[in-house]
A and B are shown apart, each in its own frame.
Chain A
Amino acid sequence: MNPPPETLVAPGAPAATDREAQAEAFFRELLDERPVMYGPSAAIIDDNRLSPRSAADERALASVSDGVEVTIAQNRLEVILESAKEMLEQTGAAPGAKWGDLTCGLYSAAGDLALASSSGVVVFAACASAPVKHIVKDWIDEPTVGVRPGDVFYHNDARYGGVHNADQSLFIPIFVEGELIAWAGATIHEGENGATEPGGLSPSALSVYDEGLKISPVKVAEDYTFRRDLVNLLQNNVRDPLMQLIDMRAKLAACMRIEERVKEVVADRSPDLVLATLRLALERTRDEVKRRFTEMPDGIFRTVCFCDTTLLEDRLLKMVVELDKRGDKVVCRTHGTGPAILDRAINMDPTFARALFSNNLMNFFWPDLPRNAGYVSAIEFEFEEGSVAKSGAECPNALSMIAACFFQTGMHVCMSKLAYNRPGDIEVIAPWYGMTQSMFYGGLNQWGMPVANLMIDINSMGGGAHADRDGEHSCAPFFAAMADYGEIEDRETELPILAIGRNLNKDNHGYGRHRGGSSVECMYMVWGVPEFALGTLATGSKFPTIPGLFGGYGGPSSPLTIFRADSSEAVKEALRERAHEVPRTADQLHREGGLPGTAETRRATQTAEFAKEGDLWILQVGGGGGYGDPLERDPQAVMKDLREERISAWVAERVYHVVYDAEHLRVDAAATEAARDAERAARKARSLPYEEFVAQWRRDEPPANVPFLGSWDWGTAA
């Protein structure tokens, strides 16, 4: 560093070496203590370990020796959080609040999420620590901000940690006798955030500056009272200002309730018991996850998945997940994954990518441990810099969950193969449907009110097949086991939408010895307004979103069907006069028509466009993956699938090879066994030994007609 020029030194000034030291100190203070801005901290974002024990933690742990007392305290705190989450669900205004896309949590003083509500979005529980750690790092000692009792902080910028900026979080510090002992937090998927398109998830965003509100952790209230000018600023930057206000209040009420009840525990027992309980919950979860990994076979487990869109075009984006497990050490790598895309909002923040790992453990493998940052701290991660799994702060990420879904599916398959050897401890399940198949909307509703958000069809994902039974239909999203996808009448009341169908349609799951659960096809007609903006968020139009497991198949492709009415009057007449001809599925619409207009299929992600009254959008949420060889499926179960219209005769005959009486659906057992034996023989006859197969199959670069992003390296092949 150069000192100030000699010519500027006044007569009688200190000697050169003193001046150098002063200049050094001046610049160091300028750079370190008075930064131009407080950006996201790489030290926080890149570190998934628990914060070290503080002196207060050590004091508390030394003073608390009764394990029963700690267990009781932990249960009390968890009940407090569950109760707060229920309260938030009832008082929040966003569709996300109503459908269970929310979480309440209790953080250590250092910012590690130590306990969270047991339902809601558990993935929040894994990536929610980073924003609080930023508050602790940046604002406690900053004289213009500070952290005091009654302060309220707000956040939605995923560059500081989180899923995406559709989620908004509120945090309050909990002080006891002047000591910060914990933080209470509440997160809701609010949706609308003022992005270039309505609803908060904008596929047309080309930079972070197109994605709407980006609230770095900021103090929005003192003495539990919002600064109305700040709230007003936020309201003026979203399309649904009423929802913004209501939900900030709802989250504050939930956090204040948590604080009040935590202080009751403190008053009943002691602050040290709360401190020790939070610390032990974190450390014991981390240690138990590591211990359970020790029980599994050592080795490397890999999966590759393919995302068939980069939002505005069809491109094949590769996602690689590799688990390298040795003893209690598990390293997760994504080498070979496709690159970050600077002008598409599909990139992931690493805190989110890591959180998906713990989401997978929390929801599918070890749901019995406290939901906290201990899960993710047990794993090491090596994400490739510049890949879609670890993009930079200038990469838009509002639709991070689209890439993340593939990371989650890859992780799930790796974990299933790693865990199979310990069936007594773990129930192995084929991949859950893993995509954000949903519709966003915006405009004036039939009551003249501005509305902008996301449909909740995303929550109706089909479950993966189990090792011993079929997957559940239209069950829950992979990230929130207790979420619901709501009453359609509520939506018709609030939105200018007529749902003319919502069906579990045929052949919409993965086949196998046990089949995946199906999911719904939703048919939404614009109704009661001249036009309304719609868009969609999903992949899987050309390449299925999930595979099956152990010889089972994944689900089919799921494009979007759009029907354009000749006129709203003609559609209304058809609904009034020829209701029996109105199609109930996309398949029926394409085959038979039944409405005056034209239908087409499109890529599953569509930017917002105005649909006219009478236009119909049909999206298909996918089903879960199948488990095991389909030829081992009980023929009677295939007949049940046929009776319930979960599969077509085509699938019964060509995939399951069941011979039956089509009129009465009676199985011919002997003929079925013969047909299946014949198919096994046919498999062997048409297949090739590995080397011969590779000689025919191998290409040294991707097909010219497939825009491909990611590695293509035969050096790492089987």
Chain B
Amino acid sequence: MPTYTREPITEYLEVDLETETWRCRRCDHEIGPARESYKRGLLLHDRDPREVYPAKIDAEYSYAPDPEWCRLVECCCPGCGTQVEVEYLPPGHPITHDVELDVDALKERQLRLRARDAAATGEEA
């Protein structure tokens, strides 16, 4: 049986192909099944955008996003608190399943690339 290593997928997330789990690249926290959305294993917060973008004037168009139109859904790692993703959504909008990996294909690809690299260097895969 081949053994698999981890594949970095985003700045803060990798997939452990051996256990088929998402892991945090900062603290190694196991986030959840790699065949599901990583967001299901993170902590989420509905943030008022004015906490990040200060309003310049008190008016309908204030230079800050309108909190009745736009919210920041901040997603952080339950282990270390690193902010992994921020979605800009209208209130109550479905959370985007942004990365839906084909884990089987990822495994095949890792073996294929490993064999290609081995052939190039003359080492065993």
Closest approach, in angstroms, between the C-beta of A450 and any C-beta of chain B? 32
Chain A residues lying within 8 Å of B123, measured Cβ to Cβ, are: none
| Residue ID in chain B nearest A601 by CB atoms | B61
Contact A297–B85 (Cβ < 8 Å): no
Chain B residues lying within 8 Å of A586, measured Cβ to Cβ, are: 56, 63
Contact with A along B49-89 (1 / 0, CB 8 A): 10111101101111111101110111010101111111111
Decide if B114 is an interface residue (CB 8 Å cutoff).
no
Decide if A557 is an interface residue (CB 8 Å cutoff).
yes
A716-B44 contact, Cβ under 8 Å, with A421-B9, A629-B83, A706-B69: no
A550-B12 contact, Cβ under 8 Å, with A302-B96, A683-B76: yes
Contact with B along A523-561 (1 / 0, CB 8 A): 000000000000000000111100111111110111110
Contact with B along A543-587 (1 / 0, CB 8 A): 110011111111011111000000000000000000000000011
Contact of A601 among B57, B65, B89 (CB under 8 A): B57
Contact B97–A717 (Cβ < 8 Å): yes
Contact B8–A703 (Cβ < 8 Å): no
Decide if A694 is an interface residue (CB 8 Å cutoff).
yes
A326 to B100, CA, bound (A): 12
A299-B99 contact, Cβ under 8 Å, with A543-B88, A556-B64: yes
* Interface hits, B82-124 → A, CB 8 Å: 82-102, 105-106, 109
Contact B90–A306 (Cβ < 8 Å): yes
Chain B residues lying within 8 Å of A559, measured Cβ to Cβ, are: 61-63
A714 to B96, CA, bound (A): 9
Decide if A137 is an interface residue (CB 8 Å cutoff).
no
Decide if A631 is an interface residue (CB 8 Å cutoff).
yes
A700 to B99, CA, bound (A): 23
Interface size in chain B (residues, C-beta < 8 A): 64
Decide if A639 is an interface residue (CB 8 Å cutoff).
no
Stretch among A37-45, A242-250, A647-655 lining the B interface? A647-655
* Interface hits, B9-32 → A, CB 8 Å: 9-12
Decide if A699 is an interface residue (CB 8 Å cutoff).
yes
Chain B residues lying within 8 Å of A630, measured Cβ to Cβ, are: 83
Chain B residues lying within 8 Å of A511, measured Cβ to Cβ, are: 52
Chain A residues lying within 8 Å of B93, measured Cβ to Cβ, are: 304, 699, 702, 712
Closest approach, in angstroms, between the C-beta of A49 and any C-beta of chain B? 25
A683-B74 contact, Cβ under 8 Å, with A548-B86, A697-B92: yes
Decide if A669 is an interface residue (CB 8 Å cutoff).
no
Contact B44–A556 (Cβ < 8 Å): no
Chain A residues lying within 8 Å of B72, measured Cβ to Cβ, are: 553
Chain A residues lying within 8 Å of B43, measured Cβ to Cβ, are: 683-684, 687-689, 693
Chain A residues lying within 8 Å of B102, measured Cβ to Cβ, are: 297-299, 326
Interface positions of A (Cβ within 8 A of B): 297-304, 306, 308, 316, 326, 413, 417, 420-421, 423, 467, 507, 511, 541-544, 547-554, 556-560, 586-587, 590-591, 600-603, 620, 627-632, 648, 650-651, 654-655, 679-681, 683-684, 686-691, 693-694, 696-700, 702-703, 705-706, 708, 712-714, 716-718
Interface positions of B (Cβ within 8 A of A): 7-12, 37, 39-46, 49, 51-54, 56-57, 59-66, 68-70, 72-74, 76, 78, 80-102, 105-106, 109
Which 7 interchain pairs have the tightest Cβ spacing? Answer: A699-B92, A680-B81, A559-B61, A687-B43, A718-B37, A298-B105, A550-B11
